[in-house]
């Protein structure tokens, strides 16, 4: 069993990003990322601080636009329009979730596709599904980067993605299909989840339910990627996989924390560099 160490790989990627940022600066381009944070959700505030620190460490200029939860949708859309027109900002990220009175679909569609480093705009989603160059969402992109780093060729393998969100599950399916894996996608209405996971060479899960995937649901030698992150009553962070027991049957597995999580921010930095290069 080999641990897919996302923390170690993310540090390697950040060094590569720093080098690319330095090269762009020599050409007169400072890669810039803007983040919009609405309200005071504690988890969102932590994520935004982590993103800002990673940008600083990697030589990317970053600015955080913080707004009270009472901001109107129109005010928010006006801010997005201004950032879209700013040539010094190459990437724009809307920190989710947004307050209930703001329509996330309208807000995400307002981001210029060429600055959509989160890969949530329908333009980029469509290009991803069509197998064309695009910005892909950072978490599933990070999973593919881990496969590449550990020489895991998904071509011809049976993959089961558990969770069908627009942010993780659906783009994960598209990325795997683009690399010629055979993909099965499961969700809350799937009748017999174990029947799908048992026959899969790769199981990728991200639903936010501790210990959802148990050892009896995995075949010997499977590759298991745990995108879930849950805090137990005792304060411990765990994923959606019963790591202790499942890991005994796997060929590769991600830990939580230290697996996919650090890769998400690393891929955001990489996407920002990609956007800055495209602006030349």
Q: What's residue 43's pLDDT?
A: 85
* Domains of the chain, residue spans: 29-112, 138-261
Residue 250 φ then ψ, to 5°: -90, 160
Most distant pair of Cα atoms in the chain: their distance: 56
Q: Write a three-state SS string for the chain.
A: CEECCHHHHHHHHHHHHHHHHHHHHHCCCCCEEEEEEECCCHHHHHHHHHHHHHHHHCCCEEEEEEECCCCCHHHHHHHHHHHHHCCCCCEEEECCCCCCCCCHHHHHHHCCHHHCCCCCCHHHHHHHHCCCCCCCCHHHHHHHHHHHHCCCCCCCCEEEEECCCCCCHHHHHHHHHHCCCEEEEECCCCCCHHHHHCCCCEEEECCCCCCCECHHHCCCCEEEEECCCEECCCCCEECCECHHHHHHHEEEECCCCCCHHHHHHHHHHHHHHHHHHHCC
Q: What's residue 235's pLDDT?
A: 86
The verdict on pTM exceeding 0.85 is: yes
- Going by C-alpha positions, the residue among 249, 271, 7 that lies closest to residue 120 is 271
Per-residue pLDDT of the chain (280 residues; tens, 9 = 90+): 999 999 999 999 999 999 999 999 999 999 999 999 999 888 899 889 999 999 999 999 999 999 999 999 999 999 999 999 999 999 999 999 999 999 999 999 999 999 999 999 999 999 999 999 999 999 999 999 999 999 999 999 999 999 999 999 999 999 999 999 999 999 999 999 999 999 999 999 999 999 999 999 999 999 999 999 998 899 899 999 999 999 999 999 999 999 999 999 999 999 999 999 999 8
Q: What's residue 244's pLDDT?
A: 96
Fold agreement between 29-112 and 138-261: yes
Residue 85 φ then ψ, to 5°: -85, -10
Hey, CA dihedral for 95, 96, 101, 104, is it positive or negative? positive
Among the CATH numbers 3.40.50.300, 3.40.50.10860, 3.40.920.10, 1.20.1260.10, which is that of 29-112? 3.40.50.10860
Task: Specify the residue for token string 């690319």.
Answer: 20
CATH code for the domain defined by 138-261: 3.40.50.720
Q: What's residue 48's pLDDT?
A: 92
Residues designated as active site? 51, 95, 118
- Going by C-alpha positions, the residue among 184, 174, 102, 186 that lies closest to residue 137 is 174
User: Can you tell me the distance from the alpha carbon of 248 to that of 258, in angstroms, rounded to the nearest whole number?
Assistant: 18
């Amino acid at each position: 069993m080999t641990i897919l160490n996302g923390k170690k790989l993310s540090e390697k990627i950040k060094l590569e990003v720093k080098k690319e940022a330095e090269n762009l600066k020599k050409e007169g381009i400072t890669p810039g990322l803007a983040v919009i944070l609405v309200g005071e959700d504690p988890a969102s505030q932590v994520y935004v601080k982590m993103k800002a620190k990673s940008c600083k460490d990697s030589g990317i200029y970053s600015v955080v636009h913080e707004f009270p939860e009472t901001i109107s949708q129109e005010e928010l859309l006006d801010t997005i329009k201004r950032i879209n027109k700013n040539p010094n900002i190459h990437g724009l990220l809307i920190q989710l979730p947004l307050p209930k009175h703001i329509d996330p679909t309208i807000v995400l569609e307002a981001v210029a596709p060429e600055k959509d480093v989160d890969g949530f705009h329908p333009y980029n989603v469509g290009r991803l599904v069509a197998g064309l160059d695009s910005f892909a969402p950072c978490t599933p992109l990070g999973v593919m980067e881990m496969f590449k780093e550990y020489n895991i060729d998904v071509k011809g393998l049976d993959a089961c993605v558990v969770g069908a969100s627009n942010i993780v599950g659906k783009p994960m399916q598209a990325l795997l299909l683009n690399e010629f894996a055979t993909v099965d996608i499961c969700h809350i209405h799937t009748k017999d989840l174990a029947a799908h996971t048992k026959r899969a060479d790769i199981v990728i899960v991200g639903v936010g339910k501790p210990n959802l995937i148990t050892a009896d649901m995995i075949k010997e030698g499977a590759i298991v990627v745990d995108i879930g992150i849950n805090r137990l009553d005792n304060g411990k962070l765990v994923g959606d996989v019963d790591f202790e027991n499942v890991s005994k049957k796997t060929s590769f597995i991600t830990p939580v924390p230290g697996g996919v999580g650090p890769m998400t921010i690393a891929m955001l930095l990489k996407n920002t560099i990609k956007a800055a290069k495209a602006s030349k």
